Amino acid sequence: MDILNLIEEHYRLTELKWRKNKEIIESKTGVKKIRYWENRQLLDWHIAWRDGINHSNQVMVDRMIRTKKGEPAIQYENGWLTLHDEVSITYPIEEDIDKWALLLSQMLGYGLTVEKTIHEDVPFSIEQCLRLLPHSKKLDGVAKVVLEKSCNEAKKRVQLVKGLLKHCDKQKLPIVDKITTVQQGKQIYQLLFWVGGNEKPDVGYKGIRKFLEQWLTVHGTDGTELLLNKINDNFSLTGEQGLFLLAECLTPWELHECLDHLAVTTNSEEVYTIFDRYNQRWELSRELVDIISSWLDKKREKVAT
């Protein structure tokens, strides 16, 4: 059956037409996005995650639109199909820190309630970085020295991470839908509308780190500390969860990604684009680590006095 006919049969939607073939449809009640799913366990996780984030007059997520029978998905070919409201206006990251903080704190809070049925990603390996380092042959001497120094610093970071995680060995990591960009935040009037994904979620703070790095480039140190304070109002980051966050930000994923890309890239111009992008991310991660570490120290001092 044609997808539009299938949707019209199962959903309370009429006057359907394609805006973007097999992805975006227009209807009498607005524009909708179609997502396709092959894995039922993953689909069920995303349904529960979207339903688990509290909707308010400040923050919403793109929940699955229910069918006429109240179902969040319908069968399509060898998998399933879900419908979501499609919003095109990006919510400005420069505004409404309270809403952004509320969203992140709700993601983290719900993430601690989820049973761990998701396998964690392969952990960071400094040994793999050292194996990849000799493959960055197309870089000049200065750039190679920078990467060698980065590898030495990465070794120290890994030891710091191990030390932090010893304090958290009995604590649970949150399971969080992947965050790729702050532009997943959309605007409906004054509402922050977050567009979730359809990939395997992250175990831990990888996506939160990515968000904070993008936030830092816009708001600087003071704005990032303020965001941490606002998140902490609803989800405590001053204990083990804060150490988990710091450990994630210390983990030099950007070094591994850079070396991995350099190992398979032959174009000289692209090699230096990769290196320059890495350099910027490395400095940004250093800055973020300093901010979070300082923020945690201030919180501990406040508790002690």
Mean predicted confidence (pLDDT) in 204-230: 97
Q: Is it the case that residue 180 has pLDDT exceeding 80?
A: yes
pLDDT at site 6: 95
Look-up of token digits 């990465």 = 154
The closest alpha carbon to 208, from 248, 155, 163, belongs to 248
pLDDT at site 184: 97
Mean predicted confidence (pLDDT) in 127-143: 85
- Tell me, what CATH number does 69's domain have? 3.30.200.20
Q: Is it the case that residue 92 has pLDDT exceeding 60?
A: yes
92, part of any domain = no
225, part of any domain = yes
> Which range among 26-30, 77-81, 262-266 shows the weakest confidence by mean pLDDT?
262-266
Pick left, alpha or beta for residue 85 (phi over 0 → left; psi -120 to 50 → alpha; otherwise beta). Answer: beta
Residues 170, 246, single domain; the answer is yes
pLDDT at site 139: 83
110, part of any domain = yes
Q: Is it the case that residue 95 has pLDDT exceeding 70?
A: yes
* Tokens (6 digits) for 57: 């007059």
Residues 172, 268, single domain; the answer is yes
- Sheet of 59-61, strand order: 59-61, 191-194, 185-188
The closest alpha carbon to 292, from 230, 212, 189, belongs to 212
pLDDT at site 114: 86
90, part of any domain = no
Predicted structure pTM score? 0.92
8 A C-beta contact, residue 64 and residue 50: yes
Helices (H), 33-140: 40-52, 97-111, 126-132
260, part of any domain = yes
- Sheet of 74-76, strand order: 17-20, 24-27, 30-37, 79-85, 74-76
Q: Is it the case that residue 303 has pLDDT exceeding 70?
A: no
Q: 47-71: per-residue pLDDT in tens?
A: 999 999 988 889 999 999 999 999 9
Percentage of residues in the chain having pLDDT higher than 70: 97
Of 58, 85, 112, the last residue of a domain is 85
Instruction: Give how far the C-alpha of residue 109 lies from the chain's centroid of Cα atoms, to the nearest Å.
Output: 15
Q: Is it the case that residue 186 has pLDDT exceeding 90?
A: yes
Domain boundaries, position 220? 97-304
Of 51, 85, 119, the last residue of a domain is 85
14, part of any domain = yes
Total number of domains in the chain: 2
Q: Is it the case that residue 305 has pLDDT exceeding 60?
A: no
pLDDT at site 117: 66
d(C-alpha 89, C-alpha 94), whole Å: 14
pLDDT at site 243: 96
53, part of any domain = yes
Residues 293, 169, single domain; the answer is yes
Mean pLDDT of the chain: 92
Q: Give the max Cα distance, the chain.
A: 68
> Which range among 41-50, 100-109, 122-131 shows the weakest confidence by mean pLDDT?
122-131
Residues 262, 162, single domain; the answer is yes
Angle at alpha carbon of residue 177, lines to 174 and 180, rounded to 5°: 120
Residues 117, 16, single domain; the answer is no
Cβ-count burial of 256 within 10 angstroms (0-12 exposed, 13-18 middle, 19+ buried)?
Answer: middle
8 A C-beta contact, residue 216 and residue 284: yes
> Which range among 154-163, 240-249, 257-266 shows the weakest confidence by mean pLDDT?
257-266
Residues 260, 281, single domain; the answer is yes
Distances (CA, A) of 124 to 107, 129, 187, 252: 24, 9, 36, 8
pLDDT at site 8: 95
Q: 255-298: per-residue pLDDT in tens?
A: 999 999 998 888 888 989 999 999 999 999 999 999 999 999 99
d(C-alpha 187, C-alpha 193), whole Å: 6
